[in-house]
Each structure stands twice: as C-alpha cells, then as structure tokens.
C-alpha cells in the first residue's frame, strides 16, 4: 500500500465510485474495442456462426481470471506490476511489463486508426486528422479530467456497446441456426480456424484487462474512506469479494454478449453474401452498408468510435500503471498531473506513439486482427504469474484463491497456452 501522506486528488472529498461505476463493468466494456470488433467481424464473416461457441466457452474463464486480478489488487493494495516488482525477480517483472507495453501501444495505434477510418466513413474528411484528434481527446481527458467525472464519462460510453445489439435485431438472424451452431459446433484443425480461436481468446482474455482491473481496485481502496487493503483489514473481505464477484461477472457477461452479437450480425450479413475477408472494423462497417443498409452501417460505425473512446484510456492507463509500479513511481488517475508526472507522461507517450504508428509504413489499422493474436500470446506468461502469485500466502495472506477460482484460473491459463501452441504448430505445419 502507499505509505506516503495523502495527496489532494482530482475528485470530490467524498467520492462515491460504487454509485458511478465498477471496475468490472468498465473492464468488460473496454474489451470490445475496435480491435475486438475487427476480430469478431472477421470471425463472423469467415466462419459464419461456426465460432460463436467460443464466446460462451470463454466467458467463465474470462470472468474467473478477471476476478483473480481484482482480488490481487484489493487484497494486497498493489497492482499486478507492483506485486511482480516486490516478490519476483527484476528480469521477470521487466519482461512482462515490456510485453504488455508493446501489445498496448500496437493496440492503441490500431484502435486509433480504426476510429479515424470509421469517422471518415460517417462524415468524410481526413482520417489521419481524426486519429490525431481522438488521441488528443483521450489523453487529455485521462490526464486533466477530475477522476469522478472521468469514470462517469467511461460509464456512459459503455452504452455505445448496445449499438451492436441493435444491429443484430435489425438484420434477419436465423436464431435456430445460431443455437444449433453453438451447441453442436463443427471443429477443425485447419490453420485459419485455429488462428481465429487464438484471436478470439486473445481478444476476450487480454493482458491489459488484468492490469487495469487490479489497479482500479487499488484506486478504489485508496479513495474510499475507511477502505484498506484486505491483507491488513480482513474484516472487510466478505462484502468486498461479493462486490467484486458481481461487478466482474456482470461486466464480463456484457463484454461477451456484445461480441456474440457482432459475430452473428456479420455472419448473417457478410458471410451469407460471400464476404469472407474483413481486415478492419471500418471495413466491416462499409461492407454492411451495401448488404444490410445505411442504418445498420451508421450504428455499427458509430459503435466503433464509442467503444474506441472507452478503450483508449484503458490501454494507455494500464500501460502507465504497469510501468509506474515497476519503477515505484506515484501512480493513479486520482492524482493531479503535477503529483504523478512520470505516470501521466507514460499515458501521453503511449497515446502519441499510437497516433504516430498511423503515419508510418506500418499500417496499424490492418494490424487489428493480429493485435488480438499478440494479446493471446502475451496473456499466457502473465496468467501463469498471476496464478502463482494469487496462491502464495506470503502475498495474499489468508485470501489465497478458493478451489473453484483455482480450477477456473488454471483452466483459462491452460486453454490460452494450448491455443497459442496449436497456432504455432499449425504455422510450422
């Protein structure tokens, strides 16, 4: 926990974070970013309803690993990177944070590019200018907005996810066919099929979500009067664990339900009309205009912008939390910029580099689908360390993982490892 004297923060004296939002809700909603939309759109366009089962299969695994990350933050008073620095070798903590930083910046660049392309589709104009404006807006809000107001903005942005529910009910979905594909999927060992599974798993179970939710629990503990890390205040555990569980499982349910609607929308429209190759979320929106009509196109494209605005601060923030804790900086979105200069500098730098990627020969927009694959690869070592960390009584005190979470957490880790291994084998074959 932070033993420094409390600093003035960017929010009222009596913040009511739980009345505004929960870490699990924001984390789950931010999972459906433009990168994820591109992945789910490609999966729906290429395989129809054939991979819709992955969203139901991944839900308990995703929810469990996110609950574990939240418990780590709430019990110890440190985020994942802080615990890595305190309890593991420097090479391990530095290596994991470096991988996270690379993956997050690539994701940032890809999401910004997709948002710029989506706005260009809606109102025309220069996409690169929109990329710059979105990057500036996101970083500016994260750095200078009062924390309570900032998280309230993020909560309202969660509503943008429902644009994809609307899309699914506008098109004529054969729900009986969808149901049959979910309960009786046709499996394949072909490389494209395996890579698509890795991409879906890498999108739904992403490393930046682990770091973000753990740190939001730390922020919550610091800002709520009377709240302490459960390691030193075990009497608070029953109510806190109940809150974390409800918040996390509802947030992850929202995330996977939206992803499911994206898959079936693109499967019903694009796949059914022979459009099987979608590289970007904006490309999916453009294809929908010709097949499903302008209304569906507008809703789908607007959703890309809304979800991007929700996810950009999570990507930049989780990177800043991880780097800051690794170097023992003052971190926290509730701090004023002059109180955590290095922390906010990482947010600004990550956003700037993400914008810059769109001006290079590297096309971050076309990297959307592959950024999900990269997240899947990076998630494996992070999950292994999280499971080891959360089962050590020296770190978690009397709050090491109960057996159900151990089983689901290791199951999620094994599934991620197996899909990444299968992808490597399919490439070599």
CA dihedral 168, 170, 172, 177 (to 10 degrees): 20
Question: How do residues 80-97 score in pLDDT, each as one tens digit?
Answer: 999 999 999 999 999 999
Compute φ and ψ for 22, nearest 5 degrees: -125, 150
More confidently predicted of 51 and 189: 51
* Residue pointed to by tokens 């601060």: 313
Mean pLDDT of 116-137: 93
Round the average pLDDT of the chain to a whole number and report it. 85
More confidently predicted of 50 and 162: 50
More confidently predicted of 396 and 286: 396
Helix, strand, coil percent content, the chain, rounded in steps of 5:
75, 0, 20
Question: How do residues 34-84 score in pLDDT, each as one tens digit?
Answer: 888 888 888 999 999 999 999 999 999 999 999 999 999 999 999 999 999
Has residue 128 got a pLDDT over 90? Answer: yes
Confidence of residue 408 (pLDDT cuts 50, 70, 90): very high
Q: How many CB atoms lie within 10 A of CB 274?
A: 8
Compute φ and ψ for 9, nearest 5 degrees: -120, 165
pLDDT at 4: 47
Q: Which of 110, 155, 139, 153 has the alpha carbon at shortest distance from 320?
A: 139
How far is the CA of 124 from the CAs of 118, 127, 129, 172, 352, in angstroms? Answer: 9, 8, 11, 29, 24
**In whole angstroms, what is the distance from residue 51 CA to residue 46 CA?**
10
pLDDT at 13: 43
* Residue pointed to by tokens 């990329």: 131
Q: Which of 20-24, 65-69, 107-111, 161-165 has the lowest mean pLDDT?
A: 20-24
Q: What are the structural domains, with CATH classification, of the chain? A: 22-428 (1.20.1730)
* Residue pointed to by tokens 């939309």: 37
Question: How do residues 220-258 score in pLDDT, each as one tens digit?
Answer: 887 777 778 888 888 988 988 988 998 899 889 989 999
Q: What is the pTM of this model?
A: 0.88
Q: Are 399 and 237 contacting, i.e. CB atoms less than 8 angstroms apart?
A: yes
Confidence of residue 427 (pLDDT cuts 50, 70, 90): low
pLDDT at 1: 46
Residue 43 contacts by C-beta under 8 Å, 6 or more apart in sequence? 51, 54, 196, 199, 200, 263, 266
3-class secondary-structure state, position 335:
strand
Has residue 9 got a pLDDT over 60? Answer: no
* Residue pointed to by tokens 């973000």: 212
Residue 30 contacts by C-beta under 8 Å, 6 or more apart in sequence? 209, 212, 307, 310, 311, 314
Has residue 334 got a pLDDT over 90? Answer: no
Residue 236 contacts by C-beta under 8 Å, 6 or more apart in sequence? 227, 228, 230
pLDDT at 161: 79
**In whole angstroms, what is the distance from residue 212 CA to residue 214 CA?**
6
């Amino acid at each position: 926990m932070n033993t420094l004297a409390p600093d003035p923060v960017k929010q009222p004296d009596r913040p009511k974070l739980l009345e505004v939002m929960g870490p699990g809700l924001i984390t789950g909603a931010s999972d459906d970013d433009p990168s994820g939309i591109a992945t789910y759109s490609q999966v729906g366009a290429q395989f129809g309803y054939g991979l819709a089962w992955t969203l139901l299969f991944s839900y308990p695994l995703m929810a469990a690993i996110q609950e574990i990350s939240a418990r780590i933050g709430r019990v110890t008073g440190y985020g994942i990177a802080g615990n890595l620095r305190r309890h593991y070798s420097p090479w391990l903590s530095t290596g994991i944070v470096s991988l996270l930083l690379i993956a997050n910046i690539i994701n940032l660049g890809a999401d910004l590019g997709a948002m710029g392309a989506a706005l260009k589709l809606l109102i025309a104009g220069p996409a690169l200018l929109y990329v710059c404006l979105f990057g500036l807006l996101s970083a500016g809000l994260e750095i200078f907005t009062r924390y309570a107001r900032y998280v309230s903005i993020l909560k309202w942005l969660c509503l943008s996810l429902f644009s994809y529910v609307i899309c699914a009910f506008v098109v004529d979905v054969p729900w009986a066919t969808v149901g049959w594909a979910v309960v009786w999927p046709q499996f394949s060992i072909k490389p494209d099929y395996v890579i698509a599974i890795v991409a879906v798993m890498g999108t739904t179970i992403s490393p930046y979500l682990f770091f973000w939710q753990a740190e939001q629990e730390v922020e919550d503990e610091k800002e709520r009067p009377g709240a302490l890390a459960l390691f030193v205040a075990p009497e608070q555990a029953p109510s806190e664990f109940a809150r974390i569980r409800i918040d996390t499982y509802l947030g992850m349910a929202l995330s996977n339900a939206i992803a499911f609607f994206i898959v079936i929308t693109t499967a019903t429209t694009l796949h059914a009309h022979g459009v099987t190759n979608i590289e970007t979320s904006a490309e999916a929106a453009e294809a929908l205009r010709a097949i499903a009509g302008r209304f569906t196109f507008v809703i789908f494209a607007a959703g890309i912008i809304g979800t991007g605005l929700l996810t950009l601060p999570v990507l930049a923030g989780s990177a800043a939390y991880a780097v800051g804790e690794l170097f023992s900086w003052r971190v926290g979105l509730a701090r004023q910029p002059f109180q955590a200069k290095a922390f906010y500098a990482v947010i600004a730098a990550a956003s700037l580099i993400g914008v810059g990627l769109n001006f290079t020969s590297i096309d971050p927009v076309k990297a959307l689908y592959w950024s999900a694959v990269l997240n899947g690869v990076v998630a494996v070592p992070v999950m292994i360390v999280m499971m080891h960390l959360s089962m050590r009584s020296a770190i978690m005190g009397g709050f090491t993982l109960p057996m159900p979470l151990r089983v689901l957490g290791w199951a999620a880790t094994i599934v991620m490892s197996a899909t990444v291994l299968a992808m490597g084998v399919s490439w070599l074959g």
